Amino acid sequence: MTQFINAKENLVTEAIDGLLHTSGDALVRLDGYPHIKVVYRSDWDKSKVALISGGGSGHEPAHAGFVGKGMLTAAVCGEVFASPSVDAVLAGILAVTGDAGCLLIVKNYTGDRLNFGLAVERARALGRKVEMVVVDDDIALPDLPQARGLAGTLFVHKIAGSAAEAGKSLDEVTEAARKVIDNVSSIGMSLDTCTVPGSTKEDRIAKGNAELGLGIHGEAGVEQIKFENARVAMRRVMDKLAPHCSGHDSNHSIVALLNNLGATTPLEMSILANELINSDFNVEFIIGPAPLMTALDMHGLSVSVLKVDKQQLAALKEPVPLAAWPGMQAVGSIKIESLPDGLAPVEPIASEDAETRKTISSICDLLISSETRLNELDAKSGDGDTGSTLATAARSLQTSLDKMPLADLTQLMPALGNELSQTMGGSSGVILAIFFNATGDACARGLPIQKALSEGLDRVSQVGGAAAGDRTMIDALQPALEALPAGIDKAAAAARKGADQTANITRAKAGRASYVPEENLLGHNDPGAEAVAVVFEGLVKD
């Protein structure tokens, strides 16, 4: 997989320098590249307890992204998925530890425990007052003697960081950290593994499956399960966390941290947030969704839950000047306001016509069954969603037929236009709304349906600026409507001929295809024109 890096050997140091350049001088680093990679606060005066965390890189924004007032004092960075050396950790301790002491927050991986642990012993031998806590929030493998540290570590950073910023003693800060560790639980799920720079990507997760309970270094999860949808996925995650959300009372609140493992899109993460909040668990506050502790480009998520008392809740609420920290929000209800006057949809008076219902249902079925094929065509010349857009509108239209004025074309056509403009979105919905509304106007003037449809198409050309030969749906629809008076079979043949001719049009003049290189268009039918041909051919078969 191609990645935006220069060389594997330099990627971590170059990434750290990029962070420093863009920190507004809030961060500095120790000398010692490439072996010592320590980032710490430029305003640090050693008067308070220092907090140090770190580990392998590849989890950004953790750990250096959380260095700042109210969270970490310093981060010690290793190479990708590799623990930093004892010398690097010791350098970080000596750089930021004053008389108040230092707390190291370590995730429960053997390399981190050994390197950070030995550095602690050496720092103590040098007279520094240092404590260490180990985070083991992963509940995927309940029988594992030493559970892994996951994104729940960020709760420790924030709550212990608040205590340190408030001037608490090392013992008090350490106790605050341990209290979080005793109560935080996390689990992850992914649809794909991650790509380690310079290594071949492991193709471990079978197509159509998701992996539950995986680590943050690409380690295999506890099980592979069939992936159905976001709702079922989140339910499986929350079922695992359920025992750790019990015992709720008025003195405690449940906070969830929804973490993007790297490559999950913001759209997906918002859907997952909705499913988490709508689950059967009393999550009152949420941090995220956001990439907080990632696993490079892993297409997955993790959820961490913590039952907090009022003091811990106040610590989590405190704002910090860190772009990587999204803050905590109370889970609220969805507030809905009425549409402005004149925009509320006018409900048509329903009427029945069996033949019209059959025709519309057949068209909807054809579009739904062609979803994948049309998406594949659109991927050649657009954004790959034509089939999904049409299929979504078709499914919605099928559920609305009982409310449609099927027996009156003058009402049916604008009703179809209004329905499609609401369910399709984008330019397609607008184009079809114009088409059907203009067709309805023509029907109201007494024109026969064939002429009314042609007039609707003329209106689309006027408003949208497209014409035959521009590589759009018009290339199939116009000849089909011209041939319709001779019969549906003639119209279908004309639509197919028009659609197939678009494969030879290499300069589109409208739509997304107009931005696509000519070589991407040659030999591929326009998806809109293809959809028209599919519909007319399907009506012939019926």
Provide long-range contacts, Cβ within 8 A and 24+ apart, for 220-228.
221/140, 221/188, 221/189, 221/190, 222/140, 222/141, 227/191
Q: Is residue 102 classed as helix, strand or coil in its secondary structure?
A: strand
> Which 8-state DSSP code applies to residue 490?
H
Give the relative orientation of helices 409-423 and 449-464 as an angle to the nearest 10 degrees. Answer: 40
Task: Report angle CA 24, 321, 177 to the nearest 5 degrees.
Answer: 125
Q: N- to C-terminal Cα distance for the chain? A: 47
Q: CA dihedral defined by 162, 164, 166, 171, rounded to 10 degrees? A: 120
Pairing mode, strands 283-290 and 253-260: parallel
Give the pair of three-digit tokens for residue 466. 């497209």
Contact criterion met (CB below 8 Å) for 515 and 383: no
- Rg of the Cα trace of the chain? 30
Q: Amino acid letter at 413?
A: M
Task: Report angle CA 134, 325, 281 to the nearest 5 degrees.
Answer: 75
- CA-CA distance, 122 to 379, in Å (whole number)? 59
The active-site residue out of 59, 63, 157, 217 is 217
Q: Which phi and psi angles does 73 have, rounded to 5°?
A: -85, -40
Give the relative orientation of helices 488-501 and 474-483 as an angle to the nearest 10 degrees. Answer: 150
Let me know if 217 is a catalytic residue. Answer: yes
Q: Which residues are part of the catalytic machinery?
A: 217
